[in-house]
Chains A and B, each alone.
Chain A
Amino acid sequence: MIEIKYIAPEIFLSISIFSLLSIGVFIKKSFNIIYRLSSLVIFLLLLITLSGNFETTKIFNDSIVVDNFSTFMKSLILVSSFFILAMSKKYLTDIKNDKFEYPIIILLSILGMFIMVGANDLIVFYLGLELQSLALYILAAIDRDNSKSSEAGIKYFVLSALSSGILLYGCSLLYGFSGSTNFELILANTDSVNAGTIFAMVFILVGLAFKVSAVPFHMWTPDVYEGAPTSVTSFFSVVPKIAGLAVFIKFMYIPFHAIIDQWQYILVFISIASMLLGAVAAIGQNNIKRLIAYSSIGHIGYAIAGMAAGTENGFRNTILYITIYAVMNIGAFAFIFSMKRGQKYIEEISELSGASKNHPLMCFGLLIILFSLAGIPPLAGFFAKFYIFMSVIESGMFALAVIGLVTTVVSAFYYIRIVKIMYFDDSKKPFENFKDTGIQGSLILSCILLISFFLYPSILNDVISNISIF
């Protein structure tokens, strides 16, 4: 029974979800109160997660592990979700999608991610993954009167279910060839290279690459990002990626650590392909959500490059990358949430034309975020890339480093294209001026973090260098 306390966050979350659901059913027009309560739940959850122990503890017959890796990833998931919830309230009300289920589904997906990130066993992992995915399918289609949103939901569901199937097949192969579902035992049983394990690795890798939208399993991303309501897109582009990368790291470094030679080059390929596609395909986009979709594909490429290094520093730098990526993306979406003219939210980049004259501060914020996404020093995005390529070069993969850095130049092109449209072009009608603490607060906070990161970059490093999953 003593083990129960280690899953206190998950238990608290489940209880909250059910009680919120009951409140929502019985009180009419309960969107506002449920929304606030959900944010509160996330906040409390963060406190509970952080107050837990940081010693590596395995519970329930070693099927769940609580260590500083999972604690960090969970906190990151919670903080990002908190800000995304805070930003999207106004948007949901404006598009008349203020259903009380929305925040509850988000909480459900967070529960799934918690289980996923904490899993140390194939079955537990798959349980979490499915819970998370099911919640995400509903989220993508939540604007059910909008055909684009429904389309996005269906697309995501079909493709994601397929990839889950492939992943599950990989899991069963892995069980068949190693005789266990426990990650450590799998590692212990795969001392020699055998074809079955490699097949299993490839299948699982395909499934995971789909979840984090890495090339060549990225096709769904732009359509789903564009079709889903912006609030959902902002959630999709950050939170599931954090969770997805967390399990990606876990799989590669625990059960498949023995066959590192086998997966390393697959990851190098995925990484290079994602970076290239993310850089090139985004150039022609005029829809800012599609552009963010391609840019996130590119960023996942950089994150995977860190993992491909195959060292402990490598995956730490991946974690660092995804952390900074989350900060930048939340800031970018805070800006997108404030692109509203009349009753409509605007998604075309060309509509930003000359916006800096009417909204100097907001556009300055986006400028910082864009240069940071492009990886220009002294902004935080540079450090993220810098650390990634540190570990890549440490492993002697010069080609990967050079290709990666050259793609940053290509991707810089479309980031600064937005700057050009905002700053150099003639101005159009201003956007609606509104005050929303969530949106503006997130934008300002994100910019301050990105600018001031260079003053003392060690902060994040010190935390992350303690993370170990072995």
Chain B
Amino acid sequence: MNFPILSSITFIPLIGAFFIFLTKEEKNEKNKGAIYVSIFTSFVNFFITLFLWSSFDKTTYDFQFVEEFFWISGFIKFKFGIDGISILFILLTAFITPIAIISCINSVKVRLKEFLIAILVLETFMIGVFCSLDLVIFYLFFEAGLIPMFLIIGIWGGPRKVYSAFKFFLFTLLGSVLMLVAVITIYWITGTTDVNEIYQVKIPTEYQYLLWLAFFSSFAVKLPMWPVHTWLPDAHVEAPTAGSVILAAILLKMGGYGFLRFSVGMFPVASEYFVPLVFTLSVIAIIYTSLVALMQEDMKKLIAYSSVAHMGFVTLGIFTFNKQGIEGSMIQMISHGLISAALFLSVGVLYDRMHSRLINSYGGIANILPKYSFILMVFVLAALGLPGTSGFVGEFLVLVGAFKINFLVAILASTGVLLSAAYMLWLYKRVVFGKIEKNDLKKMKDINTSEFAILFTLGALIIFFGFYPEPFLETIHVSVDNLISNYNSEINKNFAFK
């Protein structure tokens, strides 16, 4: 281990942002320099991440590419490292960022330079979250992401941007400060904030419950789970397309990642204790938000509610504590990252042309936008979990895992699949099929090359992983097995102790 590859993928975007900061902005002209630098940086980062994935050792559950050095003397080490659970998220982040950047170049009209800086800074924080192996460092990156996202929503957002940005900021901050208390308490109990050491030391059972709840408050808001999901639809609706893409594809996944890495890993006993709570909230999220999604008139809001429902599957899967459930929720998160990004981009395509996100201002666009309608169909089918798309793999595995644990919960969750089919297909029908009744729709142009390239890449990946999820699964197998066996041994110990 010589080259600090994780630090470089984390901080390359920051360096890129700094160079963009130096470029000069001409009035009434596009800032070419900023665009090139941002695309270049994000692609370089993506390729380094691919290299990271290819040299990743899939046969061990130990943390790899570990970097550590003293940061605050005698107290906190700056520690980076990845295992099978985190690498996929890093890959997803590095993949989605260039897509978001390319998509925003045409649609962001004002202050493009600052926008690109914000996105690259955000990428640094997101990758940092998935790389860090120290609770304090994790918290640092986890919270820092609020600043650029707040600005992205607030500066480039829609009419109700201020309300949404504040709601997003304050909700997430409130959840997180409780986590900070928990982090400090863990340091106080164990004398370390190094995640790996905490795994070894084990936190005493009596503390686990409250600590679990503190972490839960943060991750549940971030994920988001019902009933603290209300910031998400607002944030999505008002955020610019690129902001929605990053929000849905990556920021939400921090919550799921946090559950896997911290809640389950550090507090197994409490995790088991709180399973009924999580299951209840997940099932409510799946059914309730699906029903809410059914009634939405705004496309972005519909997708936002469907995200909440899909995240319900994720929490359900994680807290089944069996291999199918956890792997399923991992796949669900990755695939939701791709699908929701694709759906938000598709809505963005329509919005750029017609400046409306309302479903009833469209209709019959299959006649004028054939290419677009075809690709949108792939995403819609993937979102409802059609076999052959990545959406199916995740939901299926989660449901298999759930059936092993709790029949009732699994049955209830399955209705979510039906409901998602209902709202997605209905959305598709109302937007794409039928006659064109609005004349201004006829002026719309079909997607251009760059839009097609982005959407096609996403569509191809979604289908590829629908048929062949093995590359993902084999990356996570060993780490997930280790997680589960650690969990089981802790639970058994605790049971015997009782």
A residues in contact with B136, CB < 8 Å:
386
New A-B contacts (5) at CB < 8 Å, excluding given A405-B181, A413-B170: A386-B184, A390-B187, A406-B177, A420-B162, A458-B73
Q: Mark B144-171, 1 if CB is under 8 A from A, else 0.
A: 1011001100110000011001100110
In the assembled complex, A377 has its CB within 8 A of some CB on chain B = yes
Contact present for B73 and A377 (CB under 8 Å): no
Which chain B residue shows the least CB distance to A421? B162
Q: Mark A304-328, 1 if CB is under 8 A from B, else 0.
A: 0000000000000000000000000
Cβ-defined partner of B184 (8 Å) among A382, A401, A458, A461 = A401
> In the bound complex, what is the Cα–Cα distance between A386 and B177 (angstroms)?
10
**What are 12 A-B pairs at a CB distance below 8 A?**
A376-B144, A378-B144, A382-B140, A382-B143, A386-B180, A402-B181, A405-B178, A406-B174, A420-B154, A424-B162, A458-B71, A461-B73
Q: A461-B72, A462-B73 are in contact. Are A424 and B181 (CB under 8 A)?
A: no
Q: Mark B68-93, 1 if CB is under 8 A from A, else 0.
A: 00111101000000000000000000
In the assembled complex, B139 has its CB within 8 A of some CB on chain A = yes
Chain B residues numbered 52-79 whose CB sits less than 8 Å from any CB in chain A:
70-73, 75
Contact present for A423 and B155 (CB under 8 Å): yes
Which chain B residue shows the least CB distance to A408? B177
A residues in contact with B161, CB < 8 Å:
424
We find that the number of chain A residues with CB closer than 8 angstroms to chain B is 30
B residues in contact with A457, CB < 8 Å:
71-72
A residues in contact with B177, CB < 8 Å:
405-406, 408-409
Q: Which 5 A-B pairs have the closest CB atoms?
A: A405-B177, A377-B140, A458-B73, A393-B184, A377-B143
In the assembled complex, A412 has its CB within 8 A of some CB on chain B = yes
Contact present for B180 and A389 (CB under 8 Å): yes
In the assembled complex, A72 has its CB within 8 A of some CB on chain B = no
Cβ-defined partner of B72 (8 Å) among A394, A406, A413, A458 = A458
Closest Cβ of chain B to A379, distance in Å, is 8
Closest Cβ of chain B to A219, distance in Å, is 29
A residues in contact with B139, CB < 8 Å:
377
B residues in contact with A408, CB < 8 Å:
173, 177
Contact present for A389 and B184 (CB under 8 Å): yes
Q: Mark A419-443, 1 if CB is under 8 A from B, else 0.
A: 1100110000000000000000000
B residues in contact with A416, CB < 8 Å:
150, 166, 169
In the assembled complex, A456 has its CB within 8 A of some CB on chain B = yes
Chain A residues numbered 381-408 whose CB sits less than 8 Å from any CB in chain B:
382, 386, 389-390, 393-394, 398, 401-402, 405-406, 408
In the assembled complex, B185 has its CB within 8 A of some CB on chain A = yes
B residues in contact with A412, CB < 8 Å:
169-170, 173
> In the bound complex, what is the Cα–Cα distance between A416 and B162 (angstroms)?
10
Closest Cβ of chain A to B148, distance in Å, is 11
In the assembled complex, B495 has its CB within 8 A of some CB on chain A = no
Cβ-defined partner of A423 (8 Å) among B154, B166, B170 = B154
User: Of A376, A408, A454, which is in contact with the most chain B CB atoms at under 10 Å from its CB?
Assistant: A376
Cβ-defined partner of A402 (8 Å) among B75, B154, B178 = B178
In the assembled complex, B188 has its CB within 8 A of some CB on chain A = yes
Which chain B residue shows the least CB distance to A423? B155
In the assembled complex, A83 has its CB within 8 A of some CB on chain B = no
Closest Cβ of chain B to A409, distance in Å, is 5
A residues in contact with B170, CB < 8 Å:
409, 412-413
Contact present for B188 and A420 (CB under 8 Å): no
In the assembled complex, A156 has its CB within 8 A of some CB on chain B = no
Contact present for B146 and A376 (CB under 8 Å): yes
B residues in contact with A248, CB < 8 Å:
none
B residues in contact with A424, CB < 8 Å:
154-155, 161-162, 165
Closest Cβ of chain B to A360, distance in Å, is 8
B residues in contact with A31, CB < 8 Å:
none
Q: Mark A449-463, 1 if CB is under 8 A from B, else 0.
A: 000001011100110
Which chain A residue shows the least CB distance to B175? A409
> In the bound complex, what is the Cα–Cα distance between A390 and B166 (angstroms)?
28
Contact present for A377 and B71 (CB under 8 Å): no
Q: A376-B144, A376-B146, A457-B72 are in contact. Are A420 and B165 (CB under 8 A)?
A: yes
In the assembled complex, A210 has its CB within 8 A of some CB on chain B = no
Contact present for B151 and A423 (CB under 8 Å): yes
Q: A382-B140, A416-B169, A420-B165 are in contact. Are A371 and B71 (CB under 8 A)?
A: no
B residues in contact with A454, CB < 8 Å:
140
Closest Cβ of chain B to A283, distance in Å, is 12
A residues in contact with B143, CB < 8 Å:
376-377, 382
> In the bound complex, what is the Cα–Cα distance between A409 and B177 (angstroms)?
8
User: Of A393, A423, A456, which is in contact with the most chain B CB atoms at under 10 Å from its CB?
Assistant: A393
> In the bound complex, what is the Cα–Cα distance between A371 and B146 (angstroms)?
10
> In the bound complex, what is the Cα–Cα distance between A409 and B180 (angstroms)?
12
Cβ-defined partner of A371 (8 Å) among B70, B147, B165, B181 = B147
User: Of B150, B154, B165, B177, which is in contact with the most chain A CB atoms at under 10 Å from its CB?
Assistant: B177
Closest Cβ of chain A to B164, distance in Å, is 11
Contact present for A398 and B166 (CB under 8 Å): no
A residues in contact with B185, CB < 8 Å:
393, 398
Which chain A residue shows the least CB distance to B21? A364
Closest Cβ of chain B to A450, distance in Å, is 12
Which chain B residue shows the least CB distance to A385? B180
B residues in contact with A394, CB < 8 Å:
188
> In the bound complex, what is the Cα–Cα distance between A461 and B74 (angstroms)?
10
A residues in contact with B71, CB < 8 Å:
456-458
B residues in contact with A458, CB < 8 Å:
70-73
B residues in contact with A371, CB < 8 Å:
147
A residues in contact with B169, CB < 8 Å:
412, 416
A residues in contact with B141, CB < 8 Å:
377-378
B residues in contact with A390, CB < 8 Å:
184, 187
A residues in contact with B155, CB < 8 Å:
423-424
B residues in contact with A398, CB < 8 Å:
181, 185
User: Of A382, A398, A424, which is in contact with the most chain B CB atoms at under 10 Å from its CB?
Assistant: A424
> In the bound complex, what is the Cα–Cα distance between A41 and B173 (angstroms)?
45
Which chain B residue shows the least CB distance to A425? B162
A residues in contact with B184, CB < 8 Å:
386, 389-390, 393, 401
B residues in contact with A376, CB < 8 Å:
143-144, 146-147, 173
Q: Mark A78-98, 1 if CB is under 8 A from B, else 0.
A: 000000000000000000000
> In the bound complex, what is the Cα–Cα distance between A382 and B173 (angstroms)?
12
Which chain A residue shows the least CB distance to B156? A424
Contact present for A378 and B181 (CB under 8 Å): no
Which chain A residue shows the least CB distance to B150? A416
Closest Cβ of chain B to A458, distance in Å, is 5
Closest Cβ of chain B to A391, distance in Å, is 9
> In the bound complex, what is the Cα–Cα distance between A393 and B180 (angstroms)?
11
Q: Mark B464-481, 1 if CB is under 8 A from A, else 0.
A: 000000000000000000
Closest Cβ of chain B to A345, distance in Å, is 27
Which chain A residue shows the least CB distance to B174? A409
Which chain A residue shows the least CB distance to B25? A360
> In the bound complex, what is the Cα–Cα distance between A402 and B170 (angstroms)?
16
Closest Cβ of chain B to A271, distance in Å, is 16
User: Of A390, A401, A420, which is in contact with the most chain B CB atoms at under 10 Å from its CB?
Assistant: A420
Closest Cβ of chain A to B27, distance in Å, is 12
> In the bound complex, what is the Cα–Cα distance between A420 and B272 (angstroms)?
42
